[in-house]
Amino acid sequence: MDLKQINRAVEGYLPQADEADAARLRFFKGLFELQQRRADELEAVAAYEPAPGDQLDRAYLAGTAAFTAAPVVVAARDLAATCAQVAAELAAHAGLADQAAFALREADWDELLSGADLGLAGSDPVAFVTDVVARRGELGVPTALTDDLLAMALAFSLRPHLQGPAARVMGAVSDDAKSGSHSRPLDCPVCGSPAALSRVGEVDTLHGGARIQYCATCGTSWPFERIRCGSCGSRSQEGIHHFHVDGDEAHRLETCEGCGQYQRVVFANDLQVPLALEVEDVVMAKLDRIALDPRFSARGE
Ligand SMILES: [Zn+2]
Ligand SMILES: [Zn+2]
């Protein structure tokens, strides 16, 4: 994560943010700092080797997540330590109800993760979170720790373990696989998570291309087709629409008639603040509320 850029983006949003949004931005800025600090600690002790380049390219083009062939080793004790830090941060600064904060602080992560499938954590993180939540009774998760909170704490905790290896994978995938005339991966080519958001615009020449998808689970961004549904992969030009909220051209919802899903898209050229995808993920949460509003599904005008 680029903490300097994240800070610039947060500072850009704060003056216009209402109290609740400002508190959210400050919470996430603290969380990103924690995640990066933890990622640095973990990087210093663990070495990750991606699969060989030609094998990586083949998997990339086939849409197979790189971590399934070469998983990250996530030690239960390390992940438990990360979870304890993330849970303490959530409890202290996320504005949660007392009972939820207490449950987070009191959770015994060593105990809870001792029965979890850590192999899944490093090969298919979305499945890992789903698995822990599904087996919560067996794993001894306290009742006050709701499914949502548990999933959130786990997902936030996995990022520091995965982002370093993910960057190494993307560094080893060839430019041709990433940007040649092939179909782009729909889900994250590294960890298999669905994209959290999309960025359109030429501002970020580092990533090239007109559109990239961003994975919040492992931090990967990858080139994507300009006109294509990020959920089902449909390329139907007529079936894909963009909506923005009054006065905000930079943040739009891209909807797909084919699958009925939507994706949050930041149009970088219309953005009034410095671009940090981590921060956009936080800011665009309000688009989810709009997308879920029944009036939105009666779209068409
Ligand atoms: Zn990913
Ligand atoms: Zn679709």
Q: Are strands 262-267 and 197-200 parallel, antiparallel or unpaired?
A: parallel
Residue type, 155: A
- Beta sheet of 251-256, edge-to-edge order: 221-223, 211-214, 197-200, 262-267, 251-256, 240-244
Ligand 1 centroid from CA 251, angstroms: 22
Secondary structure class of 299 (helix, strand, coil): coil
Instruction: Give 196-250 pLDDT, tens digit per residue.
Output: 999 998 655 555 558 999 999 999 999 999 889 999 999 988 999 988 877 889 9
Quote the ligand 1 centre to 301 CA distance (angstroms): 35
Residue 82 is predicted with a pLDDT of 98
* For residues 145-171, average pLDDT: 96
Which listed ligand is nearest to 158 at the C-alpha? 1
Q: How many residues does the chain have?
A: 301
Task: Please give the domain boundaries of the chain with CATH numbers for all domains.
Answer: 15-172 (no CATH), 180-297 (3.90.1670.10)
Q: Express each pLDDT in 50-101 by its tens digit.
A: 999 899 999 999 999 999 999 999 999 999 999 999 999 999 999 999 999 9
The ligand with the least distance to the CA atom of 218 is 1
pLDDT tens-digit series, residues 65-77: 999 999 999 999 9
169 CB-side CA count, 13 A = 31
Q: How far is the CA of 171 from the centre of ligand 1 (A)?
A: 14
* Residues with Cβ–ion distance below 5 A, ligand 2: 229, 231-232, 234, 256, 258-259
Inform me whether the pLDDT recorded for 112 exceeds 70: yes
pLDDT at 276: 96
Report how far residue 137's alpha carbon sits from residue 233's, in angstroms, rounded to the nearest whole number: 36
What's the rounded Cα separation, in Å, for the pair 85 and 110?
12
- The number of the ligand nearest the C-alpha atom of 194 reads 1
Of 45, 76, 69, 43, which is closest to residue 55 (Cα–Cα)? 69
3-state secondary structure of 254: strand
Closest ligand to residue 259's CA: 2
Tokens at 115, concatenated: 């029965």
The whole-angstrom distance between residue 166's C-alpha and the CA centroid of its chain comes to 12
> pLDDT value at position 65?
97
Amino acid at 217: T
Ligand nearest to the CA of 261: 2
Contact indicator for 226, 171 with CB cutoff of 8 Å = no
Three-state DSSP class for residue 73? coil
Q: Tell me the CA–centroid distance for residue 206 and ligand 2, in Å.
A: 28
- Tell the residue number behind the tokens 């001894």, with chain if given: 140
> Quick one: angle between helices 147-172 and 98-106, nearest 10?
60
Q: pLDDT category, 300, cuts 50, 70, 90?
A: very low
Task: Mark out the alpha helices in the chain (DSSP H runs).
Answer: 3-13, 19-45, 53-62, 66-69, 76-93, 98-106, 109-114, 118-123, 125-134, 136-139, 147-172, 175-179, 277-283, 285-292, 294-297
CA of 190 to the centre of ligand 1 (A): 5
What does the pLDDT look like over 242-299, one tens digit per residue? 888 778 899 999 999 999 999 999 999 899 999 999 999 999 988 877 777 766 654 4
Q: H or E segment at 253?
A: strand 251-256
If you measure from the C-alpha of residue 190 to the centroid of ligand 2, how many angstroms do you get, rounded to a whole number? 21
What token pair was written down for 11? 């500072």
What pLDDT, on a 0 to 100 scale, did the predictor assign at position 26?
A: 95
Q: Which two tokens stand for residue 228?
A: 């294509």
- The set of residues, in sequence order, having a beta carbon less than 8 Å from that of 101 and lying 6+ positions away, is 90, 91, 92, 94
What is the Å distance from ligand 1's center to 214 Cα? 8
CB atoms within 10 A of CB 134: 11
For the cut 90, the answer to whether the pLDDT of residue 181 exceeds it is no
* pLDDT for 301: 35
The predicted pLDDT at position 296 comes to 65
Q: How many CB atoms lie within 10 A of CB 264?
A: 25
DSSP, res 191: T
